[in-house]
Chains A and B, each alone.
Chain A
Amino acid sequence: MGASEADVRAVLATVPDPEIPVLSVVDLGIVHRVAVRPDRIDVAILPTFVGCPALDVIRATIAERLEERFGRDVRVETTFEVPWTSDRITASGRKALREAGIAPPADPSDMHCPFCDSANVVMDSAFGPTQCRSLFYCRGCRQPFEALKSV
């Protein structure tokens, strides 16, 4: 089956991040490079965190989906060529995060509660349930919430 880079990216937009499934790998901004060759598709992704334990699952899912769709070999490599930064998350990704009750990355002084949008929030801990998340508490609606770390 024929494949253009746009076709490949469209499939990647359906591959969820295993730790935050409301985000696709495209929304998360980890797709660095796509190269379509006659016999193979090469994808380079940027780890959000160096030791991210979800990377193997992401790599395997990308390869599986692209092989299934385009019927050719897929090679997925991780690279640090450019660092992933939290501002690579797309606008639709930020919206999806908020809807899922996770605050998108922001400077702690500009953090808003994903539930009530109050800015009256405090950081409980920079470290949360995954490497990429911090714990906050909203004094407005008295809810604890998680936020993606700003890196």
Chain B
Amino acid sequence: MIATAPPVAGLDELLLAMADDEFVIGFSDSEWTGIAPMLEEDVAMSSLSQDELGHAAALYALLGGVTGQDPDAIAYDREPGAYRHARLLDQGRGDWAMTIARRYLYETADSVRLEALADTSWQPLADLVGKLRREERYHLMHVGAWLERLASNDGEARHRLVTALETLGPHAGTVFTPLESEGPLVEAGVLARPMAELEKDWRTRVTDTFEPLGLPLAPATSDPWLGRTEHGEAFRWLWGEFTSVRRSDPAATW
């Protein structure tokens, strides 16, 4: 894919944040392959992860077109501190309820973000977003059904879901961490609206689902500017996993 339009200031920051989000959640969820609670979910989680990693690859390719870097090098050759995914995705795989809670919070946020990019002025991204939204529809259906299923149970399933939402809640808004170059991106029509406005829309939607189910709402993010830069131990472990082949043989192909 060739990036033809002149890069807009901040485009690289936006693409990196989106690509890293998809890359990290894709790798985290792929840990369920072989050990999911039931066979259908083993298949589903593997397929979802494959989708997310595919989305990440397409976004890294767009980014590489803008910056002139090799997409694989962007994905694998950075130190853990240089990744820009949301802290929501940093908490380790956890149990099934944790995975469903994280996927729900992330997928709903991602869909609000993709909507805000549907008419982006940068055509290569507009083309890709059109395609991503068709696939993410299935992701939302899947995780929405699981959220209701766990929430509607009176026993352990609900208890675990509530615990997971309470753990992840404080980090949920980090998908909307303001970008340094947000002003120019909005001005150039790349991004429809600032992240803070998108976050409000997302909170309204999540509230509409959570209130009837009696689920705890995500509190405001305490340090919103650090939402994509402060990665913890769980991410360092994941980083070690997903870079292990690359680090052992940088020229390996598979």
Contact = CB atoms under 8 A, between A and B. Distances in A.
A1 B124 CA distance: 35
Interface residues of A, number: 26
Interface string B27-54: 0000000000000100110111011111
Given A50-B128, A83-B130, A124 B50 contact: no
Contacts of B134: 83, 85, 151
A127 B131 contact: no
A38 interface: no
Nearest to B43: A127
B54 A78 contact: no
A2 interface: no
B72 interface: no
B57 interface: yes
Contact of B51 (A77, A78, A124, A131): A131
A124 B145 CA distance: 13
Contacts of A135: 40, 43
B233 interface: no
A130 B109 CA distance: 26
Contacts of A130: 47
Contact of B127 (A81, A85, A131, A149): A81
Contact of A78 (B1, B40, B138, B141): B1
B48 to A, nearest CB: 7
Given A78-B1, A79-B1, A129 B54 contact: no
Contacts of A84: 131
Interface in A31-76: 47, 49-53
B8 to A, nearest CB: 19
B84 interface: no
A125 interface: yes
A124 B53 CA distance: 24
B171 interface: no
Contact of B43 (A47, A83, A125): A125
Interface string B43-76: 1101110111111011000000000000000000
A85 B133 CA distance: 12
A49 B40 CA distance: 20
B215 interface: no
A127 B54 contact: no
Q: State the main secondary structure of chain A at its contact with B.
A: loop
Interface string A114-137: 000000000011111111000100
B135 A49 contact: yes
Nearest to A47: B131
B47 A131 contact: yes
A65 B200 CA distance: 53
A130 B127 CA distance: 23
B142 interface: yes
A125 B138 CA distance: 11
A78 B31 CA distance: 29
A80 B53 contact: no
B122 to A, nearest CB: 13
A51 B135 CA distance: 10
B206 interface: no
Given A127-B44, A127-B47, 5 more contacts: A125-B40, A127-B46, A127-B48, A135-B43, A149-B138
Interface of B: 1, 40, 43-44, 46-48, 50-55, 57-58, 124, 127-128, 130-132, 134-135, 137-138, 141-142
